[in-house]
Amino acid sequence: MKFKTKHLSPLALVFFLTLAPIAPLLAQANDVTRSPSNASADERAERRYHDGRHALQAGELATAAQKMREALSLDPTLLAASQDYARILRSAGRPERAQAVLENALNEAPGDELTARLTAELAEANGDTDAAITALVRAIKQSKTPDRETLVHLADLQRRHDHPADAAETYAQLIDQAPDDPRGQLGRAAALDQASQRRAAFNAWQAVSEADELEQSVRDYAKSRARDLRKTLIPGGG
């Protein structure tokens, strides 16, 4: 892979390193016993990865990309290398290739939610909404208790891309898992409203209007929506 410049400007380097904090070297939860030959390959992969991080900190983008590729050739399950390599590719103007790198990483660890969120963000930016949603759905199914940010990310994608009924189900999952998170109730009410599920939307907005922990302006809006929906549920318009 060729880059127009070997060194990043100081401002660009600060931006890149801020965007890409060091992720855990191995994001997978399962600890697999490896043969001596594989263990050696894993150690070499981690050394390449660290070399790549040092190159990034020095502003040597091309060298960093090369080291990340070498790390992944030795250990395709090294998720941190995939994530950083994808960020390098994206910053170099190769977002489609970056998406492919992350999708390969998800094939190795489909339940890694950070990789799934990065994939979804990049896929949506590339206009590939289906791939974005698939990455998140796949990760959520692999987890008994998915991170609330993953659920919110998926629900937001579904709602914004004309899948409001699916979004309502995802928000319901968020409510079950984190009932104290106001995004669950608010999101579900808005999604049901968007899906024209008037009875369910009325009940959802009514619940939001009675949630004391929410700001008064939010509760007032919810009360207004519930009142409007109630009129549509009464024969003759109430």
Among candidate residues 30, 46, 238, the one with its CA nearest the CA of residue 142: 30
Tell me, what's the pLDDT at 1?
Answer: 46
Give the Cα separation of 206 and 222 in Å (integer): 7
Q: Is residue 29 part of a domain?
A: no
Q: Is residue 104 part of a domain?
A: yes
DSSP lists the bridge partners of residue 60 as 7
Burial (Cβ within 10 Å: 0-12, 13-18, ≥19) of residue 178: middle
Question: Within this chain, do residues 179 and 134 fall inside the same structural domain, yes or no?
Answer: no
Q: Is residue 30 part of a domain?
A: no
Question: Within this chain, do residues 126 and 166 fall inside the same structural domain, yes or no?
Answer: no
Q: Tell me which of 97, 121, 143 is where a domain ends.
A: 143
Question: Within this chain, do residues 75 and 1 fall inside the same structural domain, yes or no?
Answer: yes
Q: Tell me which of 78, 110, 143 is where a domain ends.
A: 143
- Report CA dihedral (181, 183, 189, 191) to the nearest 10 degrees: -140
Question: Within this chain, do residues 131 and 165 fall inside the same structural domain, yes or no?
Answer: no
Residue 136, Cα to own-chain centre: how many angstroms? 7
Question: Within this chain, do residues 221 and 123 fall inside the same structural domain, yes or no?
Answer: no
Give the Cα separation of 215 and 2 in Å (integer): 52
Domain count, the chain: 2
Question: Within this chain, do residues 100 and 152 fall inside the same structural domain, yes or no?
Answer: no
Q: Tell me which of 110, 143, 176 is where a domain ends.
A: 143
Residue 60, φ and ψ in degrees, nearest 5: -95, 85
Question: Within this chain, do residues 17 and 104 fall inside the same structural domain, yes or no?
Answer: yes
CATH code: domain of residue 120: 1.25.40.10
Q: Which helix (H) or strand (E) holds 125?
A: helix 113-125
User: Which mean pLDDT values do the consecutive 10-residue runs of the chain (238 residues) have?
Assistant: 45 40 35 48 94 94 96 96 97 97 96 97 97 97 94 98 98 94 96 97 96 94 96 76
pLDDT in tens, 185-226: 999 999 999 999 999 999 999 999 999 989 999 999 999 999
Question: Within this chain, do residues 151 and 100 fall inside the same structural domain, yes or no?
Answer: no
CATH code: domain of residue 165: 1.25.40
Q: Is residue 31 part of a domain?
A: no
Tell me, what's the pLDDT at 8?
Answer: 46
Q: Is residue 33 part of a domain?
A: no
Are 129 and 156 in contact by the 8 Å Cβ rule? The answer is: no
Give the pTM.
Answer: 0.78
Q: Is residue 35 part of a domain?
A: no
Give me the domain span that covers residue 6.
1-23+40-143
